[in-house]
């Protein structure tokens, strides 16, 4: 469910951006998602169990997972096709592995995993040298900016796994989504004109789908699973999400899906497979 829904959100973001500026669209998504998660947490937080997450974890999750990450993704999709943004974001498990090796020191990286990391970044380089370089003059810079999004989320994930494993995932998501919504809304007020936006039906449907299915349901499930499943294994959803995103972008969004895209994607996912391999 996570792979299918999150794989479709990249195109949903792209469709919403046709009528709504990026920070305004992202802010609307997380305002609605935060309100929905508030209701969900009120009803089910006691049943779920777990204590209140540390303030540091809540702030980091809100800023890095929701505000910084999705702000970059929304801006990135104004220049780069949604499928390519999803493929670039797929290096997230590598950042988790590197963070676990160098920062939290919870897991060492073997020679095979180092080889996989190099192959995966070789795939990213292939995409930059071919597809991204031919899109627009700013596409390369925007693509490099997109790579900061999974890096920020890996920091949030590692902190949650280290300091908030037994905490309530519903409370963590509720508070973090509201923080992300406030930051994104403030950014929209500064750099855009959100009150002058004309909300079309496709834009409204995009926000509703992204808020309910792409945020409340999926992040609720993901953060609950993260309490019991190793972070590296949860990160493996990144294998399937870019494939779904590429197919949906090509079929429903008219985005190009040529041999160079397939080559770069294959290298990224193949490298991720080696980097995530466990006996």
- What percentage of the chain carries pLDDT values higher than 70? 97
What are 172-219's pLDDT values in tens digits? 999 999 999 999 999 999 999 999 999 999 999 999 999 999 999 998
Q: Which residue has the higher pLDDT, 273 or 147?
A: 147
Highest mean pLDDT among 47-51, 81-85, 89-93, 233-237: 81-85
**pLDDT recorded at residue 66:** 96
SS3 annotation, 52-111: CCCHHHHHHHHHHHHHHHHHHHHHHCCCCCHHHHHHHHCCHHHHHHHHHHHCCCCCCCCH
**pLDDT recorded at residue 231:** 65
3-state secondary structure of 219: helix
Q: What angle do CA 162, 166, 167 make, to 5 degrees?
A: 95
Contact 238, 90 (CB under 8 A): yes
pLDDT reading at 279 higher than 70 = no
**pLDDT recorded at residue 184:** 98
User: Which run of H or E residues covers position 191?
Assistant: helix 169-191
- CA of 11: how far to CAs of 2, 103, 243, 248, in Å? 15, 34, 12, 7
Q: Which residue has the higher pLDDT, 274 or 262?
A: 262
Q: Which of 179, 271, 236 has its CA nearest to residue 2?
A: 236
What are 49-77's pLDDT values in tens digits? 888 999 999 999 999 999 999 999 999 99
Residue 278: pLDDT band (50, 70, 90) is low
> Phi and psi dihedrals of 167, rounded to 5?
-80, 165
Q: Which residue has the higher pLDDT, 76 or 275?
A: 76
Q: Which of 144, 166, 154 has its CA nearest to residue 226?
A: 166
pLDDT reading at 2 higher than 70 = yes
């Amino acid at each position: 469910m996570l792979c299918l829904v999150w794989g479709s959100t990249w195109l949903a973001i792209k469709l919403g951006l046709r009528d709504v500026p990026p920070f305004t669209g992202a802010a609307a998504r997380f305002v609605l998602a935060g309100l929905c998660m508030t209701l969900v947490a009120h009803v089910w937080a006691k049943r779920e169990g777990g204590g209140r997450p540390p303030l540091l974890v809540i702030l980091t999750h809100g800023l890095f997972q929701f505000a910084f990450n999705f702000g970059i993704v929304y801006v990135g999709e104004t220049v780069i096709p949604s499928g390519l943004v999803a493929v670039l974001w797929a290096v997230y498990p590598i950042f988790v592995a590197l963070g676990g090796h160098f920062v939290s020191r919870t897991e060492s990286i073997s020679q095979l995993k180092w080889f996989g990391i190099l192959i995966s970044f070789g795939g990213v380089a292939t995409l930059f040298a071919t597809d991204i370089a031919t899109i627009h003059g700013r596409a390369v810079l925007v693509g490099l900016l997109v790579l900061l999004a999974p890096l920020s989320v890996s920091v949030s994930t590692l902190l949650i796994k280290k300091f908030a494993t037994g905490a309530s995932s519903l409370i963590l998501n509720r508070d973090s989504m509201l923080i992300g919504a406030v930051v994104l809304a403030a950014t929209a007020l500064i750099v855009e004109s959100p009150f002058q936006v004309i909300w079309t039906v496709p834009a409204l449907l995009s926000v509703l789908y992204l808020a309910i299915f792409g945020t409340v349901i999926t992040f609720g499930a993901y953060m609950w699973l993260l309490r019991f499943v190793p972070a590296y294994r949860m990160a493996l959803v990144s294998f399937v999400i870019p494939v779904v995103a590429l197919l949906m972008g090509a079929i429903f969004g008219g985005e190009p899906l040529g041999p160079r895209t397939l080559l770069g994607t294959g290298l990224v996912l193949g490298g991720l497979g080696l980097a995530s391999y466990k006996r």
